[in-house]
A and B are shown apart, each in its own frame.
Chain A
């Protein structure tokens, strides 16, 4: 089974802190994604990466950056956390190509609270 793990289930940080959210997948997937999930807004794509050291902005990249130094690991960075970044953060991965084309494998999520 594909396994996507996220470093923390719950995280509490203070405004202005630098926050790292880590995601690791064990299936050698090329594509990795970071979403945030908020009530009434569904999942919104922050950034994604289709290869090591490659990244593309999603729909809401402002206030975030990412790092992909190794294929299995995709990190989301909040340079200076703000209260409006309090949310559930979900990481996902999928292989390049293959059927079904649309299946992304999600981690359990990190609930981040910024005080």
Chain B
């Protein structure tokens, strides 16, 4: 079946460096791709989304890149801070049905002081 997955389960980055979290997807019919952040002991929190007809979208310190040719999604976090330590999930949604999001398995980002 269709799936949304991640290349790496863990990522360690030096504080102040940029982080890149990757995600592979298989459903070429997805309309939206979304990133969520989950801090320890909390529920996931929406970060940013991108529509499938876009290649790039920027938010505050974050950029999402979408490469439909290779079905690859990435989240770039600029100048990572200790507060960025969390598990990051990518998710996808197809319009025309319901509000269902299909989540990937997550990447744990650890910031090294």
Contact = CB atoms under 8 A, between A and B. Distances in A.
B32 A102 contact: yes
Contacts of B89: 42-43
B68 to A, nearest CB: 18
Contacts of B101: 45, 102, 104
A92 B43 contact: yes
Interface SS, B side: loop
Contacts of B49: 100-103
B100 interface: yes
A59 B91 CA distance: 14
A44 interface: yes
B98 interface: yes
B98 to A, nearest CB: 6
A48 to B, nearest CB: 7
A81 interface: no
A106 B105 contact: no
A50 interface: yes
Nearest to A92: B43
A69 interface: no
B34 interface: yes
A92 B89 CA distance: 15
Interface in B82-107: 89, 91, 93, 98-106
A42 B106 contact: yes
B93 A40 contact: no
B40 to A, nearest CB: 11
A4 interface: yes
B100 A45 contact: yes
Contacts of A58: 100
19 contacts: A35-B103, A40-B105, A41-B105, A42-B105, A42-B106, A45-B102, A48-B99, A50-B98, A56-B98, A100-B46, A101-B32, A102-B32, A102-B34, A102-B93, A102-B101, A104-B44, A104-B99, A107-B43, A108-B41
Q: Give 9 closest A-B pairs by Cβ, nearest first.
A: A106-B43, A103-B46, A43-B103, A42-B105, A42-B103, A102-B34, A102-B49, A106-B44, A31-B99
Interface of B: 9, 32, 34, 41-46, 49, 89, 91, 93, 98-106
